[in-house]
Amino acid sequence: MDNSLETSPSLAAVRVPDDEVDLYNVSEGGWYAVDDEDKAVLGPFESLGECDRAIHDRVALVKPSASIGTRAHLS
């Protein structure tokens, strides 16, 4: 594993070289979003930018909205 970049507490973008695909149980090298247990969750992607966008999209989908239950009431 090299060139990792922390993008959220639970997912990180990692470039998996072709010679390390068996360590991550993936079929090809590339950029992957891996969880805290180094399990590939999303990917492969051709670039860090693509992987980073996918991580941000996934985090936005699963993160509870701050507006639910905390909206200010107008009087």
- Give the pLDDT of residue 60: 85
Beta bridge partners of 12: 6, 34
- Give the pLDDT of residue 73: 47
Nearest-angstrom CA–CA distance, 55 and 41: 9
Nearest-angstrom CA–CA distance, 72 and 17: 49
CB 12 within 8 A of CB 5: yes
Residue 59 has a CB neighbour count (10 Å cut-off) of: 15
Q: Tokens 């985090």 — which residue?
A: 59
Segments of the chain with pLDDT less than 70? 1-9, 64-75
